[in-house]
Amino acid sequence: MSSHQISVTINGEEHTREVEARLLLVHFIREELGLTGTHIGCDTTSCGACTVLLNGVPAKSCTVFAVAADGAEVTTVEGLGNGGLHPVQQGFTEKHGLQCGFCTPGMMLTSKALLEENPDPSEAEIRWGISGNLCRCTGYVNIVRAVQRASELMKENSDG
């Protein structure tokens, strides 16, 4: 098994490691770096629990090789908020957008990317935007409300 040296910037901090070619990005994040907020739900790119932002774009890190992220900027749930709470985290809390919390990190990162691209999405646009992330607990209604609330908070922040 060939190994490669990679440098990945995760939540603003650069990490250089020697990794096997087959190591998945999600395992690099969880096992090598100990950032366990990124979860694994299916291994088949179906559930989105492992969603991170790869150069700002949501990516399911269970089907990205760590070597493919060489030189990339990755944001995980631990990088949301910068000490305080990101509006998406605030929205999910206020609107009860989570129950067991397992899909939540991936769901929040997808929502963040959605709102950065479309600051004022309709309900239909939110539903389409999060449709790559499965949640078994909430029935999505409160996740939609959480994203709407995050949208309001982001607008308030940018107005302020």
Partner 1 sequence: MAECRGLGHSVQRKEDARFIRGQGRYIDDVKLPGMLYLDIARSPYAHAKITKIHEDTAMAVDGVAAVITGKTLEGFKLAWMPTLMSDQQMVLPVDTVKYQAQEVAAIVATSRYAAADGAAALEVDYDPLPVVVDPHEALKPGATKVRDDKESNHIFHWEHGDADGTDAALAGCDTVVEQKMHLPRIHVASIETCGCVASWNPVEGHLTLYLTTQAPHAIRTVVALVTAHLGLAEHKIRVISPDIGGGFGGKVPVYPGYVLATAASVVTGKPVKWIEDRSENLQADSFARDYHITATLGSKKGKVAALKLDTVADHGYSDAAANPSKFPAGLYHIATGSYDLENAHVSVDGVYTNKPPGGIAYRCSFRVTEAVHAIERMVDLLARENGEDPADFRLRNFIKPEQFPYTSALGWEYDSGNYGAALEKAMDMIGYQDLRAEQAEKRARGELMGIGISSFTEIVGAGPSKTFDILGIKMFDSAEIRIHPTGKAIARFGTKSQGQGHETTYAQIIAEELGIPPEDIQVEEGDTDTAPYGLGTYASRSTPTAGAAASIASRKIREKGRKIAAHLLEADEADLVWEQGRFYVKGSPDRAKTIQDIAFAAYTNHPQGLEAGLEAISYYDPPNLTFPFGSYICCVDIDRGTGQVRIRRFVAVDDCGVRINPMIVDGQIHGGLTMGIAPALLEEISYDADGNITGGNFMEYLVPTAMETPHWELGETVTPSPHHPIGAKGVGESATVGAPPAVVNAVVDALWHLGVRHMEIPMTPARVWNVLNEHGVAATR
Q: Using CB under 8 A, list all residues that contact partner 1.
A: 20, 22-23, 27, 30-31, 35-44, 46-47, 49, 76-78, 80-81, 85, 89, 92-94, 96, 98-105, 108, 123, 126-128, 130-144
**What type of residue sits at position 7?**
S
CB atoms within 10 A of CB 151: 21
- Least CB distance to partner 1 at residue 9 (A): 18
Q: Which is nearer to partner 1, 1 or 159 (CB)?
A: 1
> How far is 77 from 73, CA to CA, in rounded Å?
14
Helix (H) or strand (E) holding 153, with range, is helix 141-159
Q: Which is nearer to partner 1, 53 or 144 (CB)?
A: 144
Q: For residue 39, what are the CA distances in angstroms to 77, 78, 156?
A: 10, 12, 31
Q: Which of 153, 143, 62 is nearest to 107 (CA)?
A: 143
Q: Which is nearer to partner 1, 48 or 71 (CB)?
A: 48
Q: Which is nearer to partner 1, 8 or 91 (CB)?
A: 91
- Least CB distance to partner 1 at residue 7 (A): 22
